[in-house]
Structure formats: structure tokens, C-alpha cells
Amino acid sequence: MDRVAGPDSGLPTDLTRAGGGLSSAYPPGYIAGMELNQAMVGDAVTRLRRAHGQLAGVIAMIEAGEDCAKVLTQLAAVSKALDRAGFKLVATGLRHCHAAQERGEQAPMSMDELEKLFLALA
């Protein structure tokens, strides 16, 4: 059985670290170029928490032997919530980089890097 994040699981339940940014432990091949703080990702984190709850519901439905069509409908909702959270993060990154450029500063990520992240979600 897969482990679910929780106080007794040993898995992290919070995406942020003490400094307010997201964890910087990226798997190989991922682009690490912009630290995100809670103010930047608040809506995306809210969406992810909601998806987390929905996914727990889907697992409970499967374990209870619920109707396949109902399970798949709920699973589709979880998938859509995850997609929206990802797109929200990319949109936030675009706004952040554009604002930096408008101020005459170096953007934390190039448009090519942001495009690559966007396409990873598509």
C-alpha cells in the first residue's frame, strides 16, 4: 500500500520550508530557477490541498467498492484540480518574471525555461 503524507507517515505534509520558499530538492532534469514564497503560490497551494482531499476521497471510494463511473468522475476532478494548480504556478512565474523585466532586473527564469515548464503540464 502507498504511504500517504500525514503526521505519522514520515512524509512531508507542508510544501514550504522555514524561509517561506518551496523545497529546493528537485529530481534530476528539473529547472530550479525561481524561489516561490507563500504569497506567490497561495492559490495554487489551496488548490493542491483541495485535490489532496479529493484524492483521499477517491481512494476511500475504491476501497469501499464504489461504482466505477463515480470513481472515475471523481478522479477526473482530481486530475483537473492538479492541472489548474500547475497552470496557476506557471502563470505566477510568468507574471513574476515579467515584473522583474519591467523593473529592469534580471528575470529569475528565461521565457524558454518557463515555456518548458508549461509544456511539461500540457
**What is the share, in percent, of the chain residues with pLDDT greater than 90?**
29
Domain parsing of the chain, residue ranges: 38-121
Torsion angle, alpha carbons of 14, 18, 19, 25, to 10: -60
pLDDT given at position 38? 65
CATH homologous superfamily for 38-121?
Metal-sensitive repressor, helix protomer (1.20.58.1000)
pLDDT band at 39 (very low <50, low <70, confident <90, very high): low
- Partners of 61 in beta bridges: none
Average pLDDT over residues 8-18: 42
pLDDT given at position 25? 55
C-alpha cell at 79: 486530475
Average pLDDT over residues 1-13: 42
pLDDT band at 28 (very low <50, low <70, confident <90, very high): low
The whole model's pTM is what?
0.62
Average pLDDT over residues 13-37: 49
C-alpha cell at 3: 504511504
State yes or no: pLDDT of 101 exceeds 50.
yes
